[in-house]
Amino acid sequence: MIRTEALTKDFRAGFWRPRPRRALDALDLHVEQGEIFGLLGPNGAGKTTTLKLLLQLLFPTSGRAELLGRPAGDTDARRRLGYLPEHPYFYDYLTAEELLEYFGRLFGIEPAARRRRAAALLDDVGIGAERTLPLRKFSKGMLQRVGLAQAMLNDPELLILDEPMSGLDPIGRRDVRALITRLHGEGRTILFSSHILSDAETLCSRVAILAKGHLAASGTMRDLLSENVRGWELVVRGLTEPARAALAARGIDAGALPGGTWLVTLGPSTRPEPAIAELAAAGAELVSASPKLETLEDVFVRHIADDTRAEGARA
């Protein structure tokens, strides 16, 4: 569905600086049909540059990109994809309905179908009531919703969404997550960039982590998130001071929580059962016991840190 080979983009740093700044360095990426693929990375990692290269809003310095079996920028491929830009902005003097009408014409959609689809999409993204308001009166979150509606106008096979949750309140984010899940359920392929890791963790089947223009890691969530338990967290009530001191003597930390409870943290090499028995014997009541698993945030921070170290070593 999407394939890049050694995709590289340099930007001129300024008229007097002949050495360009490398925004994307030899990116190899492939997104299969029917996937929700997350492109993750901190600000300036090259996420938006990658998406713009896929849409030929930028031209690569070297390497190649292919979408829907055609080279990036192909007009027929654009007929089959939808794109939501980062912080979308449209024409002030048009209403949401007129914007979709204009874009619908560019897709060659018949007038009756165009009107029907525009109305349905605006309802779908929750701004049906504001369809006749000029876009200059729209808030950032409302523009984001219009952006999503225009991206779905041509019933695309592939959706490329640049920071789709940006500018949305918690309800808006929940709605967009539900929308992405529904679109995926309809068989569409979705590539989105984000720096909100919880969204990616919830939605994506595969992710790629970019750091300073490099591909730091990629794979399925299972590949990236180690299934090994990294420790246990026990919440207990009624922990006495002698029992806490006994735990501390063995290097087990117990911190006070609100409501008279304590959080006992066990390392990866300590099984929870003996500790639970010991605490019960000391008169403490077990409230909960949960394993500590690696999160996408842990993976993200680890890879970004690794990449920064590697770059430091190269320098």
Partner 1 sequence: MYHVALHVFKESVRDKVLYNLVLFAVLLMAVSFLIGQLTAGQDVKIIKDLGLAAISVFGLFIAIFIGIGLVSKEVEKRSIYALLAKPVRRQELVAGKFVGLALTLAINIAIMAAVYFAMLAYYGWTEPETVQRAWEAPAADPRLLKPIVLIYLQLLIVNAIALFFSTFTSPLMAAAFSLGLWVAGHFNADLRAFDTVVDAPAAGALGTALSYILPNFASFDVKSVVVHGQDVPLGFIGMNAAYAALYIGALVIASAMIFARRDFK
Residue 279 engages partner 1 in binding (rule: CB under 8 A): no
**Binding range to partner 1, per CB under 8 A, among 99-107, 116-124, 205-213, 289-297:** 99-107
Residue 11 engages partner 1 in binding (rule: CB under 8 A): yes
Residue 167 engages partner 1 in binding (rule: CB under 8 A): no
Residue 41 engages partner 1 in binding (rule: CB under 8 A): no
CA dist 214 and 25 (Å) reads: 5
Binding residue for partner 1 (CB under 8 A) from 52, 114, 184, 214? 52
CA dist 197 and 297 (Å) reads: 6
Binding residue for partner 1 (CB under 8 A) from 4, 50, 144, 150? 150
**Binding range to partner 1, per CB under 8 A, among 73-81, 243-251, 280-288, 291-299:** 73-81
CA 178 to chain centre: 14
To partner 1, the closest distance from the beta carbon of 151 in angstroms equals 8
To partner 1, the closest distance from the beta carbon of 194 in angstroms equals 17
Binding residue for partner 1 (CB under 8 A) from 28, 33, 59, 220? 59
CA dist 277 and 70 (Å) reads: 63
Q: Name residues whose C-beta falls within 8 Å of residue 113's C-beta, 6 or more positions apart in sequence.
A: none
Q: And the tokens for 74?
A: 């192909």
To partner 1, the closest distance from the beta carbon of 287 in angstroms equals 51
Binding residue for partner 1 (CB under 8 A) from 57, 196, 252, 310? 57
List helix spans (H) across 204-263. Answer: 221-224, 241-249
Farthest CA pair distance, the chain: 79
Q: And the tokens for 235?
A: 């919440």
Q: Name residues whose C-beta falls within 8 Å of residue 122's C-beta, 6 or more positions apart in sequence.
A: 96, 97, 100, 128, 130, 131, 146, 149
Binding site for partner 1 (CB under 8 A): 11, 52, 55-59, 75-76, 78-79, 81-85, 87-91, 93-94, 102-103, 105-108, 147, 150-151, 160
